[in-house]
Chains A and B, each alone.
Chain A
């Protein structure tokens, strides 16, 4: 059984994205989830599946707060920033199998107010080998662990820091236009080049934000979604992929190949579309380099040609492939990529506001996390 168009995004919700919300993750998740239910036109009690991100807020919280009488499914997809899109795959499978009617995917965090993401890595079980063999040697934070991937790409293919800067600049332009983004000051390539070095070759403006906020997505069966309030956004293809040596980048045979390289052919085959059909893409952007590398691994260009693909504003509105029309993790907020799913849905409904890609019919969204796990979904407007 293929999952092709068995399900649709039926509801989306987001809080305001800020640095310092004064709210706890559970409050922000409830707020976003209630908005998503209202958007879909369903009662929160109608949710019968929930896929929490993991951490402090669990399925039981939604049963209790929403008075859900018969929750039929809950699971987590522990893949860091690849989780939201991998959760979409899981949710689509659940509604396609007839187990659930409406599956909620909530995410909310106090990434700015609470413990820094970098420091949290040390406590995660999937990183026990990094914790034992790399952190004591000084390789502690994601920026340091990912930088050798970018450096290797630069040495092998001549990729430049300015090319990565082009991603930061177009992403910021989108954030400024979007209306719900934390970073709203324009930046130039020179600003990027002058931003301080964090872990060479990654500069400050290559790095994503730490943010407070919440967002939620509801996945419903395609049949049910047609009867709900919003125009459905159908999920045509969806897949996850795990890189070789998933937890320790150091031991990965090819440092420049991510898990999404394995997932992309499956998602495109399921969707029955080609790269030329993609009108807009929301690409997980914890670092600029990760955007470029995923575009290669997704097949938008060959390995090694990502630098030329992204330069000169090619990912901006009106460029060859508009990417991260909400400002992404780099400039909107770090919501672990659930905001990318929300934004693609908005684009395919034609509700993209000032960053709407004209006549966007088919779009793609990725997740990336936990040192290289990948997930990808291809969707179309209903």
Chain B
């Protein structure tokens, strides 16, 4: 894969979030789970806001969720996405009780509705970078 051909924005993982990105490369969507109270949180951060514990483990999400809201973007806000227009962005309630945001593929705009079942798929976009993508969960 030619890295120079990838012109979209790339993430800069932190020591806290790095395991999540490593998980994506293994086709797992990893979430932080508090070791002391069991609460699952996202996006990655150091402290559990329920019990203030800083001890956590990483657990894999089931990958299933339901559409919470969405947008369809037509304007080229960044040159890296110009060829993709228009594209759908979905905000999804995961079964684990947290949300995620990602491209939604393969769904007609007229079929979009709150509660639409979706699941996470994975796309390796460049060397060492895998992004989640959402598809209809039929």
Contacts and interface: CB of A to CB of B under 8 A. Distances in A.
A148 B100 CA distance: 13
Chain A interface main SS type: helix
Contacts of A129: 43
A2 B84 CA distance: 54
A138 B8 contact: yes
Contacts of B17: 132
Contacts, number: 100
Contact of A138 (B42, B89, B99, B113): B89
Given A133-B101, A250-B99, A199 B71 contact: yes
A330 interface: no
A131 B10 CA distance: 9
A189 interface: no
A115 interface: no
Interface string B71-110: 1111101100100101101010000001111110000010
A151 B68 CA distance: 10
B70 interface: yes
A196 B102 CA distance: 24
Interface residues of B, number: 37
B101 A155 contact: no
Contact of B10 (A136, A139, A141, A149): A136
A123 interface: no
B13 interface: yes
A74 interface: no
A144 B69 contact: no
A177 interface: no
B9 A118 contact: no
Nearest to A196: B74
Contacts of B61: none
B42 A251 contact: yes
Contacts of B12: 131-132
B73 A152 contact: no
Interface of A: 118, 122, 129, 131-141, 143-144, 147-149, 151-152, 155-156, 196-202, 248, 250-251, 255
Interface of B: 8-14, 17, 42-43, 68-75, 77-78, 81, 84, 86-87, 89, 91, 98-103, 109, 113-114, 131-132
